[in-house]
């Protein structure tokens, strides 16, 4: 394997794309040896698109509302992503459940970040559920995406302690700080593994 592996990333967002921004900044600051080929959003109004454009990254919009079914949207999304020939497809707040066909197409190349210490608290409202369960720690997980929701192999995790005063909002804010470090770290780890 070449020791100069510089993966091409296509990043999918639905909103502000703060994790996408952390990846782009890590690349700009030479902390991550990767290239963002495109940022794609399923929502035309996603604020993250503006950041990507200001960073001279190609952006595309594929509005899921224009498609009758999840499968037809996913098929069109595959065709769009594949024009950029990515090494990894990175989900950064992409608020869509993906079809089995999509997941299979990008097997071992599709990466997501989830705001819990998987396998705990799959799905939504993870911060509130962690508080209600009386957990002593919480965090975030970067993992490969498989057909089962939030169940793919873990790449890297970051932990934060749960405080007695925590609310869903305070906990979410602390976890998000860790997410912004975790995603570039996880991609760095994948690059190192590819080179070894």
* Structure-block tokens of residue 47: 């604020």
Task: Please report how the helices 168-195 and 18-28 are oriented relative to each other, as an axis angle in degrees rounded to 10.
Answer: 40
163 secondary structure, DSSP code: P
How many beta carbons lie within 10 A of that of residue 193, not counting itself?
11
The alpha helices in the chain, defined as continuous H runs, are 18-28, 48-54, 70-82, 100-105, 126-132, 168-195
Residue with tokens 């490969």: 144
Name the residues annotated as catalytic. Answer: 114
């Amino acid at each position: 394997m070449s020791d100069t592996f510089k993966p091409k990333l296509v990043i999918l967002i639905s909103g502000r794309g703060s994790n996408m921004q952390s990846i782009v900044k890590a690349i700009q600051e030479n902390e991550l040896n990767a290239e963002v080929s495109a940022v794609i959003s399923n929502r035309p109004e996603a604020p993250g698109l503006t950041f990507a454009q200001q960073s001279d990254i190609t952006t595309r919009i594929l509005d899921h509302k224009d498609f009758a079914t999840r499968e037809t949207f996913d098929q069109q999304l595959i065709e769009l992503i594949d024009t950029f020939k990515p090494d990894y497809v990175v989900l950064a707040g992409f608020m869509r459940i993906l079809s089995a066909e999509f997941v299979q197409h990008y097997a071992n190349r599709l990466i997501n970040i989830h705001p819990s210490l998987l396998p705990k608290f799959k799905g939504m409202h993870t911060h509130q559920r962690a508080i209600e369960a009386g957990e002593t720690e919480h965090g975030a997980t970067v993992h490969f995406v498989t057909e089962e929701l939030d169940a793919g192999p873990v790449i890297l995790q970051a932990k934060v302690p749960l405080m007695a005063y925590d609310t869903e909002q305070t906990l979410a804010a602390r976890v998000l700080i860790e997410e912004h470090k975790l995603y570039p770290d996880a991609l760095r780890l994948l690059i190192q593994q590819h080179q070894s």
